[in-house]
Amino acid sequence: MSPPAAVDIEVKGVTDTSAMVVPDPLTVNGVPAWREKMVKMPTGVAPSCSSDMWKSPACYNKPKAKRLDQLLSTEAKARKASTLKAAASYMKIPGLISLGGGLPSSEYFPIEHLEVKVPTAPGFSPEETQKSGTVLHGGKHDIKEGKSLYDLEISLNYGQATGSPQLLRYITEHTELIHNPPYSDWQCTLTAGSTYAWDTALRLFTERGDYIMMEDYTFASAAETAFPLGIKALAIPMDLEGLVPEAWDEILSNWDVKARGARKPHLLYTIPTGQNPTGATQSAERRRAIYKVAQKHDVYIVEDEPYYFLQMQPYKGEGAAAPPPPATHDDFIKSLVPSYLSMDVDGRVCRMESFSKVISPGSRVGWIVASEQIIERFVRNFEVSAQHPSGISQLVLYKLLDEHWGHTGYLDWLINLRMSYTARRDAMLHSCEKHLPRDIVQWVAPAAGMFHWMDIDFSQHPGVAAGKTPEQIEGEIFDAAIGQNVLLSRGSWFKADKSLPIEKVSFRATYASASFDQIDEAIARFAACLRDQFNL
Amino acid sequence: MSPPAAVDIEVKGVTDTSAMVVPDPLTVNGVPAWREKMVKMPTGVAPSCSSDMWKSPACYNKPKAKRLDQLLSTEAKARKASTLKAAASYMKIPGLISLGGGLPSSEYFPIEHLEVKVPTAPGFSPEETQKSGTVLHGGKHDIKEGKSLYDLEISLNYGQATGSPQLLRYITEHTELIHNPPYSDWQCTLTAGSTYAWDTALRLFTERGDYIMMEDYTFASAAETAFPLGIKALAIPMDLEGLVPEAWDEILSNWDVKARGARKPHLLYTIPTGQNPTGATQSAERRRAIYKVAQKHDVYIVEDEPYYFLQMQPYKGEGAAAPPPPATHDDFIKSLVPSYLSMDVDGRVCRMESFSKVISPGSRVGWIVASEQIIERFVRNFEVSAQHPSGISQLVLYKLLDEHWGHTGYLDWLINLRMSYTARRDAMLHSCEKHLPRDIVQWVAPAAGMFHWMDIDFSQHPGVAAGKTPEQIEGEIFDAAIGQNVLLSRGSWFKADKSLPIEKVSFRATYASASFDQIDEAIARFAACLRDQFNL
């Protein structure tokens, strides 16, 4: 339990930028050339690193993020760098022998090499990978032997809370390519998953007794993380595009500290793309309107974006085939709805990213992007808690994403994933169109994510006449579906504010994991159960 | 960011124990036969599991742990199981099609197999591993293909916060073999490392304004984790065996709430074996005395034990060779100092375990052992935070520890590590005896761990006459050592209570990582610097 000395995130990439002209933004194909110009990859044990080492000059000539001291919690303000941090700086002295640290010798790490077999682009299917996949090899001393910039000697030892520089470089470049934040001092840090990042965000931005703001229907666990910290959820009204900015503005503009028993809230949790559970995706215009409300009321936005790359092809209706995939990487990137991060002129957004839906949830590797001030506070917390994600996971991801696929191969993978999810969603929608009673069930085609949301017109349910509540009716339909051997998630499970009455009957169905046949069969069973319930 | 439904840790292994006679304790060689009798390994995605599935009948006929509600924090008491938990129970219905969860399909996990090359016992050195190591193979669908109980399809997906049943079984058996806790309802859960477990323990057992109790000199980061939570450290006096129970009892017996401005503390953090930084190891007798004080004052003990298996052979003095290794696994286990867990009749101990010093810190896999009540509270917190350690790490550890080494091979590895650390410690002590001015520097041979602690008789330092404080003198010696290109850790860095004056001059040197030649050279340089500083 001896973490290494804390990271110094002041490390800079290009030291003299004065002579630079205003440069072009980083492009996918420009990455290799740009890498040549940057500082050499630090390949020692647990080296300090920061995104500044790899951001292109296009990032420099922008204003800095605002400082947001007024939004930080007592805990966040009190957290200091490790006492042992100072000692790390001595390690740079040439010829120094260190008896100072508490790191074990790699002699006692019992893994000599690690190999993974992975897809070779564009053969991404499991079948193709078995036949034509590539075996990636990581040796214990690949760095010393000049074979790689990352190896088991380093990844099996302690690292910094930011994550290894090897993977952080990739993440930083990816962030610039996709989001290109409009302020200069943005940073990334790896996280031990988004759930962990959100728990940490609550510690950094809230005090016991506060409200946080969430979509009316939201990821249940995100709300449940907060409650035992003495935090209440303020549910913001939603429409088909998710959170409604006007309604939100009205709540905040009329905040009554006395009536609410709490100060005006300043933390928004939102899932802007393929929202869980409703599947809603906020348009660019909607996001800009929400961002304006956040500026007006000095709100910090946490955008939880696991489904961002599960944006799908437009739905063309019953029986129609999906349009062909984006022709180029550029077309693909342009097809993505702009993130809050990409419009964050103030530095009031923390983007929570995850490999869970695009590579593997079991890796327990995610990352966040925010201003230097905020990332530094996250890192201070991480280094005395989960420290950093697994070095074994980091090595596997580095080998796959950086050494093997590169940015181009990863974008190919993401386009492939887009088409796979498009096919899955379409299969579910076609089944719904085929089987479900349309005068009872309403839905819109989800543009992103894993979830299909169905609103049930409970007013037609015979139970209404008998005085049953929507919650009771939802429960009866759920039980009836279980009776037909199909499991859906009840909409009421996702209410952010559990103290509010349930006024609708809704169900969430995921098309992410069952086979096409199973999806069709499950929807057919659900249809039968609805007909039965509604006496159709 | 969709964790699976919460674990149900009520799952039991043997359901009917009424007819059992009082059984013998589990033995290393008895594990395979016992495994045959237990419930089948759950091999689905994110299955519920608990140590009860694998504890031998020797565990059942013991009293239960005390309930410790009075020691839990407001946060811990408020944390509930996930709303989505109920849905998980439906998954057991045969023929059910689930559209309920949020787990991605393994079709989109881009790893078809993973291999690691590891030592074949007893050839544990890196050289032997390169020559005669074993390559362990993990395929994506090994479970379905009947090749293994664990595979990539499962480990790359979400898991439960307890960790996978595959690795938890091994950990549970290991715990019973080594510690055999004296109450019946003990449980294990994996953790994302001990640093994370300690941060969580603070959330479970303390409120803002509380004191926690620590050794006077302690792992600096453990104290620094606590301070921003509004927690103060109460430093307990130490002697050569570490924490002094009489002094501790006196402090608690005379606790004055008003004068201290805080309620009587109830959480002890201790590193009983190879303490960081002093290298002290509490004897069995000392532990029993400390446990009694904990019982008397209703204190909960967190024993942080990363160095437990770095207990070394007795030190035989200058130039003498170490005694031969323990002849049998039984001799080895008996040679280990008893843990607090092994004497915990009340269930007031949480043992924090780590693979960091015995396998790899980069795995970020640890585990804890405590009563069912306390483990359940940890798990509730984990599942809305870091969830579970990396599945990739878990698969590698399972392949190595369970499928390859088994308990016998792992004990061989630990004995090998014991002899390696004995040789490292002996090298450092021999260098100290050869080079250091003995009338200025005092030490005792550490019995465990990575750290050699040296007390400096600063009263002989010329700076004393000039009115310099011990802290200033320590700083001057440290700077002089840096000037000689040797880095040691200053004793004052490890003071638990930073508000107390520094009354001693001490240094911590680790023998864990430098080569034998470097250790000798570093100590020779330190000796020269001390002679210079003390005008010898």
- A221-236 per-position pLDDT tens digit: 999 999 999 999 999 9
A334 - beta bridge partners? none
CB A445 within 8 A of CB A315: yes
Q: Which of residues 47-66 of A touch B (CB under 8 A)?
A: none
From the CA of A512, how many Å to the nearest CA of chain B? 5
In a domain, A457, yes or no: yes
From the CA of B415, how many Å to the nearest CA of chain A? 12
Distance of CA B387 to CAs B194, B341, B382, Å? Answer: 14, 25, 5
Q: Which of residues 235-264 of A touch B (CB under 8 A)?
A: none
Report whether pLDDT(B410) > 70.
Answer: yes
As given in the structure block, the two tokens for residue A495 are 């209410």
Task: Tell me if A400 and B110 make a contact (CB, 8 A cut-off).
Answer: yes
In this structure, is the dihedral angle defined by the CA atoms of residues B337, B340, B346 and B350, taken in order, positive or negative?
Answer: negative
CA B143 to chain centroid: 31
Smallest CA-to-CA distance from B451 within A360, A133, A99, A41 is with: A99
Q: Residues near A229 by Cβ (< 8 Å), separated by ≥ 6? A: A202, A203, A206, A208, B75
Distance of CA A426 to CAs A320, A343, A353, B105, Å? Answer: 9, 31, 26, 16
Give the angle A109-A114-A119 at the CA atoms, nearest 5°.
155
CB A392 within 8 A of CB A417: no
Smallest CA-to-CA distance from B412 within B481, B329, B473, B351 is with: B329
Lowest mean pLDDT among A10-24, A116-130, B276-290: A10-24
Mutation for testing the B interface, residue in A77, A111, A354, A380 having most B CBs under 10 Å: A111
Largest Cα–Cα separation, chain B: 85
In a domain, A178, yes or no: no
From the CA of B206, how many Å to the nearest CA of chain A? 13
A68 touches chain B (CB under 8 A): no
Enumerate the residues of chain B whose CB falls inside 8 A of the CB of residue A87: 487, 489, 493
Closest Cβ opposite residue B118 in set A110, A362, A486: A110
Q: What are phi and psi of A278, to 5 degrees?
A: -80, -15
Mutation for testing the B interface, residue in A384, A398, A520 having most B CBs under 10 Å: A384
What are the tens digits of pLDDT across the range A81-122?
A: 887 766 777 888 899 999 998 899 999 999 999 999 999 999
Taking the C-alpha atoms of residue B304 and residue B271, their distance in angstroms, rounded to an integer, is: 5
From the CA of A356, how many Å to the nearest CA of chain B? 7
As given in the structure block, the two tokens for residue B172 are 């549970």
CB A467 within 8 A of CB A516: no
Taking the C-alpha atoms of residue B253 and residue B258, their distance in angstroms, rounded to an integer, is: 14
Closest CA in chain B for residue A306: B1
From the CA of A20, how many Å to the nearest CA of chain B? 39
CB B349 within 8 A of CB B479: no
- What DSSP letter does each residue of B118-180 carry, written as one string? EPBTTB-SHHHHHHH-EEEEEETTTTTTTS-S--HHHHTS---TT--HHHHHHHHHHHHHHT-
Give the pLDDT of residue B89. Answer: 77
Average pLDDT over residues B466-479: 97
Give the pLDDT of residue A86. Answer: 65
Q: Residues near A247 by Cβ (< 8 Å), separated by ≥ 6? A: A236, A237
Size of interface A-B (CB pairs under 8 A): 396
Enumerate the residues of chain A whose CB falls inside 8 A of the CB of residue B80: 224, 227-228
Report whether pLDDT(B221) > 60.
Answer: yes
In a domain, B54, yes or no: no
As given in the structure block, the two tokens for residue A28 are 């996918």
Q: Which of residues 145-164 of A touch B (CB under 8 A)?
A: 155-159
Taking the C-alpha atoms of residue B198 and residue B221, their distance in angstroms, rounded to an integer, is: 10
Report whether pLDDT(A9) > 90.
Answer: no
Closest Cβ opposite residue B385 in set A115, A195, A227: A195
Report whether pLDDT(A216) > 50.
Answer: yes
Report whether pLDDT(B5) > 50.
Answer: no
Percent of chain B residues topping a pLDDT of 70: 96
Give the pLDDT band of residue A278 (cuts 50, 70, 90).
Answer: very high
From the CA of B292, how many Å to the nearest CA of chain A? 26
From the CA of A326, how many Å to the nearest CA of chain B? 20
Task: Tell me if B104 and A450 make a contact (CB, 8 A cut-off).
Answer: yes
- What DSSP letter does each residue of B322-360 carry, written as one string? PPPPPSSHHHHHHHSPPPTGGG-SSS-EEEEEESTTTT-
Residue B447 domain boundaries: 426-533
Q: Which of residues 79-118 of A touch B (CB under 8 A)?
A: 79-80, 82-84, 87, 90-91, 93, 95-105, 107-118
Task: Tell me if B156 and A105 make a contact (CB, 8 A cut-off).
Answer: no
Q: Which SS3 state, helix, strand or coil, does residue B195 take?
A: helix
What are the tens digits of pLDDT across the range B171-212?
A: 999 999 999 999 999 999 999 999 999 999 999 999 999 999
In a domain, A78, yes or no: no
Taking the C-alpha atoms of residue B297 and residue B264, their distance in angstroms, rounded to an integer, is: 9
Smallest CA-to-CA distance from A458 within A444, A472, A473 is with: A473
Report whether pLDDT(A1) > 50.
Answer: no
Average pLDDT over residues A399-418: 98
Q: A516-533 and A470-483 are packed helices; what angle lies between their axes, rounded to 10 degrees?
A: 130
From the CA of A47, how many Å to the nearest CA of chain B? 14
Report whether pLDDT(A4) > 60.
Answer: no
B281 touches chain A (CB under 8 A): no
Average pLDDT over residues B270-286: 98
Smallest CA-to-CA distance from A485 within B317, B98, B276, B157 is with: B98
B403 touches chain A (CB under 8 A): no
Task: Tell me if A117 and B108 make a contact (CB, 8 A cut-off).
Answer: no
A187 - beta bridge partners? A370
Closest CA in chain A for residue B489: A100
Q: What are phi and psi of A122, to 5 degrees?
A: -95, 20
Closest CA in chain B for residue A364: B390
Taking the C-alpha atoms of residue A276 and residue A271, their distance in angstroms, rounded to an integer, is: 7
Q: Which of residues 321-380 of B touch A (CB under 8 A)?
A: 352, 354, 356-365
Give the angle A128-A129-A131 at the CA atoms, nearest 5°.
65
Report whether pLDDT(A321) > 50.
Answer: yes
Give the pLDDT of residue B322. Answer: 81
- Within 13 A of A329's CA, how many CA atoms are on the CB side? 15
Task: Tell me if B104 and A400 make a contact (CB, 8 A cut-off).
Answer: no
Taking the C-alpha atoms of residue A400 and residue A116, their distance in angstroms, rounded to an integer, is: 9
Closest CA in chain B for residue A362: B156
As given in the structure block, the two tokens for residue B529 are 């610097």
In this structure, is the dihedral angle defined by the CA atoms of residues B340, B346, B350 and B353, taken in order, positive or negative?
Answer: positive
Enumerate the residues of chain A whose CB falls inside 8 A of the CB of residue B488: 99-100
Q: Which SS3 state, helix, strand or coil, does residue A74 take?
A: helix
Residue A8's CB is within 10 A of a number of other CB atoms, namely 15
Q: Which of residues 456-485 of B touch A (CB under 8 A)?
A: 482, 485
Tell me which DSSP letter residue B58 carries: G
Residue B266 burial by CB count (10 A; 0-12/13-18/19+): exposed, middle or buried? buried
Task: Tell me if B199 and A384 make a contact (CB, 8 A cut-off).
Answer: yes
Task: Tell me if B485 and A95 make a contact (CB, 8 A cut-off).
Answer: yes
The residue ranking higher by pLDDT, A462 or A317, is: A462
Give the pLDDT band of residue B321 (cuts 50, 70, 90).
Answer: confident
What's the CATH code of the domain at A510?
3.90.1150.10
Taking the C-alpha atoms of residue B6 and residue B49, their distance in angstroms, rounded to an integer, is: 11
Report whether pLDDT(B8) > 50.
Answer: no
Give the pLDDT band of residue A10 (cuts 50, 70, 90).
Answer: very low
CA-based R_g, chain B, Å: 25
Task: Tell me if A117 and B117 make a contact (CB, 8 A cut-off).
Answer: no
Give the pLDDT of residue B22. Answer: 65
Taking the C-alpha atoms of residue B37 and residue B57, their distance in angstroms, rounded to an integer, is: 11
Residue A255 burial by CB count (10 A; 0-12/13-18/19+): exposed, middle or buried? middle
Closest Cβ opposite residue B111 in set A117, A385, A388: A117
Give the pLDDT of residue A23. Answer: 81
Q: Tell the residue number behind the tokens 């003498």, with chain if given.
A: B320
Enumerate the residues of chain B whose CB falls inside 8 A of the CB of residue A160: none
Closest CA in chain B for residue A223: B384
End-to-end CA distance of chain A: 63
Give the pLDDT of residue B361. Answer: 97
Smallest CA-to-CA distance from B266 within B185, B202, B177, B221 is with: B202
In a domain, A464, yes or no: yes
Task: Tell me if B199 and A115 make a contact (CB, 8 A cut-off).
Answer: no
What are the tens digits of pLDDT across the range B344-371?
A: 999 999 999 999 999 999 999 999 999 9
Task: Tell me if A118 and B111 make a contact (CB, 8 A cut-off).
Answer: yes
Taking the C-alpha atoms of residue A128 and residue A122, their distance in angstroms, rounded to an integer, is: 9
What are the tens digits of pLDDT across the range A25-84?
A: 899 999 999 999 888 899 999 999 999 999 999 998 899 999 999 999 999 999 998 877
Q: Residues near A335 by Cβ (< 8 Å), separated by ≥ 6? A: A311, A326
Taking the C-alpha atoms of residue A65 and residue A61, their distance in angstroms, rounded to an integer, is: 12
Q: Which SS3 state, helix, strand or coil, does residue A223 take?
A: helix
Closest Cβ opposite residue A386 in set B103, B304, B386: B386
Residue B16's CB is within 10 A of a number of other CB atoms, namely 7
From the CA of B5, how many Å to the nearest CA of chain A? 10
Report whether pLDDT(B105) > 80.
Answer: yes
Task: Tell me if A103 and B361 make a contact (CB, 8 A cut-off).
Answer: yes
Enumerate the residues of chain B whose CB falls inside 8 A of the CB of residue A196: 192, 385-387
CB B176 within 8 A of CB B187: no
Q: What are phi and psi of A264, to 5 degrees?
A: -60, 130
Calculate the average pLDDT of chain B.
Answer: 94
As given in the structure block, the two tokens for residue A444 are 């819109």
In a domain, A523, yes or no: yes
What are the tens digits of pLDDT across the range B56-88?
A: 999 988 999 999 999 999 999 999 988 776 677
Percent of chain A residues topping a pLDDT of 90: 89
In a domain, B511, yes or no: yes
From the CA of A151, how many Å to the nearest CA of chain B? 12
Closest CA in chain A for residue B405: A110
In a domain, A439, yes or no: yes
Number of domains in chain B: 1
| Long-range contacts from A126-129, C-beta under 8 angstroms, 24+ separation | A126/B107, A126/B112, A126/B140, A129/B110, A129/B112
